[in-house]
Amino acid sequence: MIIVLRPDATKDQVNHIIEKVKVLGLTPHVSQGTERTIIGVIGPEDVLRVTPLEVFPGVESVLPVLAPYKLVSKEFRKEGSVIDLGKGVKIGGKKAIIMGGPCAIENEPTLREIALAIKECGVSVIRGGAFKPRTSPYSFQGLGEEGLKILKRVGDELNMVTVSEVMDTRDVGLVAQYVDVMQIGARNMQNFNLLKEVGLTRKPVMLKRGMASIVKETLMSAEYIMSGGNFNVILCERGIRTFEDSTRNTLDVSAVPVAKQLSHLPIIVDPSHAAGKWGLVGPLAKAGVTVGADGLIIEVHTHPEDAKSDGVQSLIPSNFSSLMKELKAIAQAIGREL
Amino acid sequence: MIIVLRPDATKDQVNHIIEKVKVLGLTPHVSQGTERTIIGVIGPEDVLRVTPLEVFPGVESVLPVLAPYKLVSKEFRKEGSVIDLGKGVKIGGKKAIIMGGPCAIENEPTLREIALAIKECGVSVIRGGAFKPRTSPYSFQGLGEEGLKILKRVGDELNMVTVSEVMDTRDVGLVAQYVDVMQIGARNMQNFNLLKEVGLTRKPVMLKRGMASIVKETLMSAEYIMSGGNFNVILCERGIRTFEDSTRNTLDVSAVPVAKQLSHLPIIVDPSHAAGKWGLVGPLAKAGVTVGADGLIIEVHTHPEDAKSDGVQSLIPSNFSSLMKELKAIAQAIGREL
Amino acid sequence: MIIVLRPDATKDQVNHIIEKVKVLGLTPHVSQGTERTIIGVIGPEDVLRVTPLEVFPGVESVLPVLAPYKLVSKEFRKEGSVIDLGKGVKIGGKKAIIMGGPCAIENEPTLREIALAIKECGVSVIRGGAFKPRTSPYSFQGLGEEGLKILKRVGDELNMVTVSEVMDTRDVGLVAQYVDVMQIGARNMQNFNLLKEVGLTRKPVMLKRGMASIVKETLMSAEYIMSGGNFNVILCERGIRTFEDSTRNTLDVSAVPVAKQLSHLPIIVDPSHAAGKWGLVGPLAKAGVTVGADGLIIEVHTHPEDAKSDGVQSLIPSNFSSLMKELKAIAQAIGREL
Amino acid sequence: MIIVLRPDATKDQVNHIIEKVKVLGLTPHVSQGTERTIIGVIGPEDVLRVTPLEVFPGVESVLPVLAPYKLVSKEFRKEGSVIDLGKGVKIGGKKAIIMGGPCAIENEPTLREIALAIKECGVSVIRGGAFKPRTSPYSFQGLGEEGLKILKRVGDELNMVTVSEVMDTRDVGLVAQYVDVMQIGARNMQNFNLLKEVGLTRKPVMLKRGMASIVKETLMSAEYIMSGGNFNVILCERGIRTFEDSTRNTLDVSAVPVAKQLSHLPIIVDPSHAAGKWGLVGPLAKAGVTVGADGLIIEVHTHPEDAKSDGVQSLIPSNFSSLMKELKAIAQAIGREL
């Protein structure tokens, strides 16, 4: 922590700050400059972080030196984490994992049809929402537990890993019982109680970046889950909110290498929610793999015209199949597998 | 709903869309232009809204005509709603309501001290967090139910309306039992299950705009609460996330008149979280009142140096007292009271 | 400047950096911490600022301590600058200066009509564009020199200060010859050659903040003008680009007190371009005065239906007149004049 | 153009609008709905676009149907444009064109050294700034004409296409005389006079997207150049401004397929300015090629520690060389060449 003093800071003010630092058990290093005096406090920043040093008289600004996360950081674990999703599927290794499926589970035949279609392309993970976060209270809100049962049946039948979103602390037990991977949606990335609750399970959690969250905040949310003891966290970049209006969100591909530099956690890319239009999903999916993502999550629907949610951004199986071929060629070119 | 067709749309494609519109019980109006054909579907848009018309072959874009919210809208109720917060305090009328207090309830003596200080300035609403949404799992998370009890005791003792945040669907009953107004924080604005849960109570709800939410989405979240039967919703503008780095968030004062044009709900401004620095709270508070807000919520702390949360943006009582005098003069100048 | 080293920085790397700092004539202060070593370089940062220290091996991050601007800063001049616009009008003092007029000068009778209407409300500054920055090459581009002549005639006739935009380095001489205040538009805030060119004149310059510029960058652009010797700079907040879509831009009222804390330059607010809709201009104008702006620039048109540019956001004289009355009451309430 | 009327629009108001539409030579189609009346005006929107219909009494909103650009659009030219940069280099075809070089031209030996290094990797285009847009007036502003001469000498000597930025309308002739491709920087994307000026030449222009510009506005700026007669325009995505702080800008890879859907113009990606850190340039460069860009522009410097500008984001030749190998493999995998 670096404390920069105002040019007009008095001696008493400086001493008051130094004393505060010492009381907290830390050692201040004062450096007198020509235009500013600074106090360096190099050591465990946590105790200082909760002290509002900026309100101390004479302080101009406070610059943190250390990152506020620990368990998610590269310093905690040097090599990348490989997370076991069950059914023989692991994420974080050489093989990039593709997840596919509809936005919402609508009924069993449709889900089975979609699952079969993507399995044929080599996909081993099926996603589908049973609890749907919808902007409007009048939109389809998902089938709830019935949807989870359908997902489990289809997953078991086809030996595919299942992913579904959990939105409510009260539903964590229920969702954990049916699915292989629990998804925390972008709108719940800072629903801290939900993070704590999934942190108490040992189920893999796929944590989507919030629309208005920087990468470091996404890591802090992962830290919440890990600090509860659940180290099976997969990050997901799905686009952030910007002024650009030709896509639903702006896919921030830089988030992938940035997260890889800061953290050992695997990270996947969701091109469907970023694009918001199926015609852009392919290019973004390919960019996601190339930029270093450990996987992708793509919306696929056999009848997008009838989809109850997000049909606009769903690929039909034939397009998905072509995309998978392209992705395989790219994966190979960059030394990965698909 | 206006459906704009691509210049190369075939007759079959157009007929396919027209049929779909008719199947949904609506009447399409086709207008042939020189460069584009459009299909106007004027009527209840809700059934069309859930149909992903953009994926129909031949469609270029779909333009909604009607707003997706009903109960919150000016068309539903022409005059502004006045909401009774209890203890004789009403919001939405001529009198602008100032709410003050610490970010987090730390202990009873401190809260009482702060409550007394602001009451002396004419404030009748005390806020304080018992459940705190903190970015880091290692930060102070609030006193929980103990905090709510302290808040209730101080509120009852000084006859002040109490406001506190609820973050978890499981806590709605608990929080509702202790406080007069439940706050939904910015990070939970689209925690739809939480919105539904508070919608089932009849307690006033203060709904903060999400950092990445447009005004219309904030209204949709209010619609969630109201569609559950709870019409006692107060909106709160508290700044949005932008690239500007000299404030914690960018206070979007325009949101106040925009919300007033679209909705009958009262709206308040939170200058403290927008500014993130106490030195900017005063100007933003004054701007908030002038722009038409029905109230303000301001962080006040008697000892900001020791505050466990957000001390940097808290006003001390003497500064708060001066601000209240200025606010009164402004309120009078614009024909309101404080 | 604080240089934070990586935990794995070698001794050689540290020495290489220290040497570089010394070669630049500065004194490094090394502080060894438990988790990081930092090197404080307190002194004239300018020489370091141009050295890409982040690329030196072993460096984790570089934190600047001093602001990069000088002439615009509060440290350079403690009291606020008062700038003489001519014709007895000064900005930066107790009196807030209102500027009004059409977006574009269309013809002499219309401009005179508008000028007379606002003069009647007590306005002493008329604005009107002769060179118009239009998004489309097919839109009306302004009358050019003919417009400037009209503006000058009307200004002289009614003894009003004139403001008009200059967009091209080649036109600075021409515009300076006709108008009292040259405007640099938001899109040209970082047109550095244009800034240099107006910096060579002594004409007052009204510098609009860029849509994607932070306050500090706006100050840096003012520094360009001042470093050329022209100290007559007036800043203008006119809204920034965000994801919110109910206004053309998001008026960042915080920019006013932030600029006042950092700089001695006067700052005005443009509610018309921020709002993009005349119905929101009033509330934003009032917020602008309250938050501490030294003036406002408002679009007024006698026949907005026929305006060749920005008619949607123009007030008609009767609305403008009512607004002026409200602004006067507010100004008085906060201890200013209008 | 669709005109949506307010529910309370009077018959007179509707007639007034219809009349206006007819006066402009267009045919209105009125559709009466249950909740709203709309007027469709399908035909040349340009005349309507300049009329501020939103201010007409009774109008709720106005929805444009047609894009405002013509010459840049896919409808104007179906197949992608291939632009001849001279010296046998063409952009827009199967071969992706890599451009490399320093941010600023510092001296002839350094530029030659860099040019030789990248030429060895198969690069045929050298970039280097002679006129530098710098945020601070105290930073190195470029060598001016001397820099252009150096660039020309090196380009001629090594038979490489040269690219350099033009910032000032007065310099267009000068820059055009020395370089093969003129660059319009992000800060000048809406410097409309500069766009008009380069539009009068026939030199290829590389137009960088503004930090706060949507893709459609970038196309409008290209339209400015093309409407002057210069059809040799290359778009460049270089990152937009968002709240994310781990990169200098947020590279919007979606802009590439979006631009390809709307326009026939080639588009390249600048990973260096987007990343702002050399360690992220590689992943972004690879994502750029994969997403469909027709080329890349990458900062390369032999001695980044001594670079006078943007050293932090420059690759050294050995890293650049590795990257080129990876890019070649990716290009091949997606059916392109490098």
Are D298 and D285 in contact by the 8 Å Cβ rule? The answer is yes
DSSP class of residue B314 equals P
Q: Say if CB A41 and CB A13 are below 8 A apart.
A: no
Contact at CB, C54 and D312, closer than 8 angstroms = yes
What is the per-residue pLDDT for A43? 67
Cβ contacts of residue D67 below 8 Å, gap of 6+? Answer: D73, D216, D219, D262
> Average pLDDT over chain B, rounded to whole?
94
CA distance A157 to chain B (A): 30
C-alpha distance from residue B237 to each of B240, C263, C278 (Å): 8, 28, 22
Instruction: With H, G, I as helix, E, B as strand and everything else as coil, classify residue A204.
Output: coil
pLDDT of residue D8: 87
Flag if A42 and C35 touch (Cβ within 8 Å).
yes
Q: Is C167 on the interface with D (CB under 8 A)?
A: yes
Check if C283 contacts B (Cβ < 8 Å): yes
- Indicate the Cα dihedral angle B290, B291, B293, B299, nearest 10°: -70
Chain D residues in contact with C196 by the CB 8 A cut-off are 137
Is residue A275 within 8 angstroms of chain B, CB to CB?
no
Comparing CA positions, the residue from C197, C200, C202, C204 lying closest to residue C164 is C204
Task: Report yes or no: D251 at the A interface, CB cutoff 8 Å.
Answer: yes
The pLDDT score that the predictor gives to residue D162 is 98
Q: Each residue of B60-108: pLDDT tens digit?
A: 888 887 788 999 999 899 999 999 999 999 999 999 999 999 999 999 9
Q: In B77-133, which residue ranges form alpha helices assigned H by DSSP?
A: 108-120
Q: Which chains touch D (3 or more CB pairs under 8 A)?
A: A, B, C
Residues C109-115 have a mean pLDDT of: 98
Q: Which residues of chain D have pLDDT under 50?
A: none
CA–CA separation, A156 and A150 (whole Å) = 10
Contact, A260 vs A269, CB < 8 A? no
**Would you say residue C206 has pLDDT above 90?**
yes
Q: How far apart are CA B172 and CA D7, in angstroms?
A: 39
pLDDT of residue A193: 97
**Cα–Cα distance between A221 and A235 in angstroms, integer?**
10
For residue B138, count CB atoms less than 10 angstroms from its CB and return exposed for 0-12, middle for 13-18, buried for 19 or more. middle
In whole angstroms, give the CA distance from residue D194 to residue D166. Answer: 9
pLDDT at position B267 is 98
pLDDT of residue C61: 85
By C-alpha distance, which of A159, A177, A152, A157 is closest to A123? A159
- Start-to-end CA distance of chain A, whole Å, equals 44
Query: Rounded mean pLDDT of chain A?
Result: 94
Count other C-beta atoms under 10 Å from residue B23's C-beta. 10
Nearest CB neighbour to C31, from listed A42, A241, A245: A42
What whole-number distance in Å separates Cα of residue D191 and Cα of residue D167?
9
Q: Do C261 and B279 touch (CB under 8 A)?
A: yes
A281, D261 in Cβ contact below 8 A? no
Main-chain dihedrals φ then ψ at residue A206, nearest 5 degrees: -100, 115
Mean pLDDT, chain C, whole residue set: 94
With cut-offs at 50, 70 and 90, classify the pLDDT of residue B43.
Answer: low
Grouping H, G, I as helix, E, B as strand and the rest as coil, residue B71 is: coil
pLDDT above 90 covers a percentage of chain B that reads 75
**Structure confidence at residue B111 (pLDDT):** 98
List the structure tokens of A202: 């040992």
Answer yes or no: is pLDDT of C48 > 90.
no
- pLDDT tens per residue, range A194-235: 999 999 999 999 999 999 999 999 999 999 999 999 999 999
Chain C interface includes B322 (CB < 8 A): no
| Axis crossing angle, helix D215-227 with helix D192-199, rounded to the nearest 10 | 40
Nearest CA to D6 out of A302, B47, B291, B74 is that of B74
The tokens for A248 are: 């639903």
How many residues are there in chain C? 338
**Model confidence at A157, in pLDDT bands (50, 70, 90)?**
very high
Inter-chain contact A37–C42, Cβ cutoff 8 Å? yes
Tokens of A243: 């002024």
Cβ contact A42–C40 (<8 Å): no
- What distance in Å separates residue A243's CA from the closest CA in chain C? 4
Q: Could you read off the pLDDT of A25-51 as tens digits, one per residue? A: 888 888 887 778 888 886 667 777 777
Q: Where are the beta strands (DSSP E) in chain B?
A: 2-5, 28-32, 37-41, 59-63, 83-86, 89-91, 97-101, 125-127, 161-165, 181-184, 205-208, 233-237, 267-269, 295-299
Q: Does B57 touch chain C (CB under 8 A)?
A: no
Per DSSP, the three-state class of C25 is: coil
Number of H helices, E strands in chain A: 11, 14
Cα D205 versus chain centre, distance: 9
Residue B69 DSSP label: -
Give chain C positions within 8 Å (CB) of B261. 279
Question: If you write DSSP's letter for every residue of A141-154 in order, what string do you get?
Answer: ---THHHHHHHHHH
**Of C149, C104, C92, C97, which is closest to residue C123 (Cα–Cα)?**
C97
pLDDT of residue A178: 98
B107-114 — which CB contacts under 8 Å span 24+ positions? Answer: B107/B150, B108/B150, B108/B153, B108/B154, B110/B302, B110/B303, B111/B150, B111/B151, B111/B154, B112/B154, B112/B157, B112/B158, B113/B302, B114/B300, B114/B301, B114/B302, B114/B317
Instruction: Encode burial over A140-152: b for 16+ CB neighbours within 10 A, e otherwise.
Output: bbbbeeebbebbb
**DSSP-derived pairing of the beta strands D2-5 and D37-41:** antiparallel
Residue contacts between A and D (CB atoms, under 8 Å): 128
Q: How many CB atoms lie within 10 A of CB D173?
A: 12
pLDDT at C43: 67
Report the residue from C52, C135, C308 with minimal CB separation from D312: C52
Minimum mean pLDDT among A176-185, B192-201, C45-54, D87-96: which range?
C45-54
The confidence score (pLDDT) of residue B62 equals: 85
Query: Locate tokens 């997403």: which residue?
Result: D291
pLDDT in tens, B256-299: 999 999 999 999 999 999 999 999 999 999 999 999 999 999 99
In a mutagenesis test of the D interface, which of A254, A330, A338 is the best target, namely the one with the most D β-carbons within 10 Å? A254
Chain B residue numbers with beta carbons less than 8 Å from the beta carbon of C274 are 254
Q: Cβ of D30 under 8 Å from any chain A Cβ? A: no
Candidates B214, B288, B333; nearest CB to C330: B333
Distance CA(B12)–CA(B34), nearest Å, equals 19
pLDDT at C54 over 90: no
> Do B54 and A224 lie within an 8 Å CB cutoff?
no
Segment A239-248 mean pLDDT: 96
In chain B, what's the furthest Cα-to-Cα distance? 76
**Residue A305 is nearest to which of B52, B169, B217, comparing CB atoms?**
B52
Asked whether residue B135 carries a pLDDT value surpassing 90, the answer given is: no
pLDDT at A25: 83
Contacts of A257 in chain D (CB under 8 A): 279-280, 283-284
Q: For residue A72, what are the contacts with CB-CB under 8 A and spacing of at least 6?
A: A219, A222, A223, A226, A233, A262, A263, A264, A265
Q: Give chains near B: 3+ CB pairs under 8 A.
A: A, C, D
The β-bridge partners of B5 are B59
Are C65 and C2 in contact by the 8 Å Cβ rule? The answer is yes
Q: Rounded to two decimals, what is the model's pTM?
A: 0.95
Is A38 in Cβ contact with C42 (below 8 Å)?
Answer: yes
Helix or strand or coil: residue C100?
strand
Q: Which amino acid is at A233?
A: V
Task: Please give the pLDDT value at position D61.
Answer: 85
**Structure confidence at residue D157 (pLDDT):** 98
- In angstroms, the CA D271 to CA A77 distance is 29
Chains that touch C (3 or more CB pairs under 8 A): A, B, D
- Tokens for B4, please give them: 């704009």
Residues of D in contact with C69 (CB under 8 A): 136
D184–C contact, CB cutoff 8 A: no
Higher-pLDDT residue of D291, A312: D291
Residue A172 structure tokens: 């964590």
| Residue-level pLDDT at A27 | 84
Sign of CA dihedral C133, C136, C137, C143: negative
Q: Answer whether B31 sits within 8 Å of D38, measured CB to CB.
A: no
Give chain B's length.
338
Q: Is the pLDDT of residue B34 over 80?
A: no
Per the structure block, which two tokens stand in for B211?
């950092």
Contact call for residues C173 and C191 (beta carbons, < 8 A): no
